[in-house]
Amino acid sequence: MKGEALRVACLLLVCAASSATAQESRFTYAGDVSATVGSADPGFFNYTDYEHSALRMLRIDLSGAWHTNEHVSFLGEVRTENFDEIEPYAAYVRIRPWKDRDFDIQAGRVPPTFGGFARRTYATDNPLIGYPLAYQYLTSIRPDSLPATAAELVRKKGLGWEDVFSIGSQVRDRGVPLVSAFRWDTGVQVHAATHDKMFAATASITTGTVSNPLFKDDNSGRQLAGRFETRPVVGLVIGVSGARGPFVTSDAARAAVGDGHESDLTQTAWGVDVEYSRDHYLVRLESIASDWTLPLVRQPFLQLPLRAVSTSVEGRYKIAPGFYVAARIDHLGFSDVDPGTGATPWDAPVSRLEMGGGVSIQRNLLLKLVYQYNTRDGGPLDHTAHQSAAQLVFWF
């Protein structure tokens, strides 16, 4: 891992290690394996950051935590999808200056600050198999390849799984989701909560943006992100999130408008999430809005910022011990631009319905079955897709 944020993380790791007391340390570990088999996806509706289908994936996670003393812990996780590569999903130090206060500092590749679903992306936490559109569906926007006109952008509707624009990189590659659920942030994060957990706040400074988290920064700025959470009554959790950072790479910005403009070409995201649980049921709602500011190069100009808004509602009901049913309805929409022929969304709006359930075969073995219906309003690929999938999840 490289970059300024990682150098800070390494420095904190060294300081933490040198300050460890003679108390007995302890090491804990955990892991999970999820194997998913699903139908074909001709419209690339479930394509992910790592160019796999979320409905056709074998994922293995191994995590560990070394608690050197009551103030310092080192945490890490490695992950592989379909045995392509072993990725360092998490690697950070956690420092808790006061043992009687819920306050900690984390540095390295840290958990995401933004959003509600970002905290439950593991197969054991997701009652279904697919992901909310905001966290997985790939838009046509790229940080390293930029459209020169609104007309060029509109021609790429529905092609976020692999596209290329005229400015910057000419290698065909994927676009970005509103928020990535498959990569954690790299930087420094601070978290604090009241003793009764009624209020909690998290803030971070990291590389990349929420849609494109990075190990090494590719422009001149850092992302600032924050989240505030409250639990006013038992079973109710309300969270609000915000993030802003330079999105466009230095090379692409230079090719479009010259040097010194990277800090103006940003992604700004806002989110609100609500969760309520009682007895046998759980309901969640999350809405995210993301604005991208790209260069204005030639007419017909982009109408900035380019906005995408996603809303998802999810529910789960436990019918009997070890058996539940669940459903999620999702919509992702886009603001209008004018390519010279009238106003139209800059990308193709998408809707998704996913429903299914799960049964516990044993304490740490879960089988999930789902049906998913996707629709897309525009683009050259299939506009609808009926898909089904089964997932077996084992954890230890």
Q: State the SS3 of 156-178.
A: CCCCCCCECCCEECCCCECCCCC
What is the distance between the alpha carbons of residues 294 and 302, in angstroms, rounded to a whole number? 8
Half-sphere exposure of 244 (CA within 13 A, CB side): 6
Tell me what percent of the residues of the chain surpass a pLDDT of 90.
87
Tokens of 48: 């992910």
What's the rounded Cα separation, in Å, for the pair 372 and 382?
15
- Burial group, residue 57, by CB count within 10 angstroms (0-12, 13-18, 19+): buried
Q: How far apart are CA 91 and CA 108, in angstroms?
A: 6
The average confidence (pLDDT) of the chain is 93
Side-chain half-sphere of 370: how many Cα atoms within 13 Å?
Answer: 28
Q: What is the pLDDT of residue 5?
A: 41
Distances from the Cα of 150 to the Cαs of 162, 332, 337, in angstroms?
19, 20, 6
SS3 (DSSP) at 155: coil
pLDDT of 306 reads 98
Alpha-carbon gap, residue 250 to 246, rounded angstroms = 10
Helix ranges (DSSP H) in the chain: 4-18, 133-136, 150-154, 250-257
The CA distance from 390 to 324, in Å, is 15
Residues in the chain where the model's pLDDT stays below 70: 1-24
d(CA 239, CA 249): 31
pLDDT at site 318: 97
Ordered structural domains, the chain, with CATH: 106-395 (2.40.160.10)
Amino acid at 318: K
In the chain, the amino acid numbered 294 is: L
Quick one: pLDDT at residue 84?
A: 87
Q: Which residues pair with 389 in a beta bridge?
A: 38, 370
Take residue 229 and report the two structure tokens written for it.
């959470």
Count of Cβ atoms closer than 10 Å to residue 243 Cβ: 27
Peptide bond connecting 300 to the previous residue in cis, omega within 30 degrees of 0: yes
Lookup: tokens for 27? 């090491």
**DSSP output for 285-333:** EEEEEEEE-----SSSPP-SSEEEEEEEEEEEEEEETTEEEEEEEEEEE
Q: Is 290:178 a contact under the CB 8 Å cutoff?
A: yes
Q: In this structure, what token pair is assigned to residue 333?
A: 């929409």
Other beta carbons within 10 Å of 278: 10
Collapsing DSSP to helix, strand or coil, 55 comes out as coil
pTM beyond 0.85, yes or no: yes
Half-sphere exposure of 286 (CA within 13 A, CB side): 27
**In the structure encoding, which two tokens stand for residue 164, read together?**
């290329």
If you write DSSP's letter for every residue of 242-296 in order, what string do you get? EEEEE-S-HHHHHHHH-TT-GGGSEEEEEEEEEEEEETTEEEEEEEEEEEE----
Pairing of β 72-81 and β 336-337: unpaired
- pLDDT attached to residue 12: 41
Positive or negative torsion for Cα 354, 357, 362, 364: positive
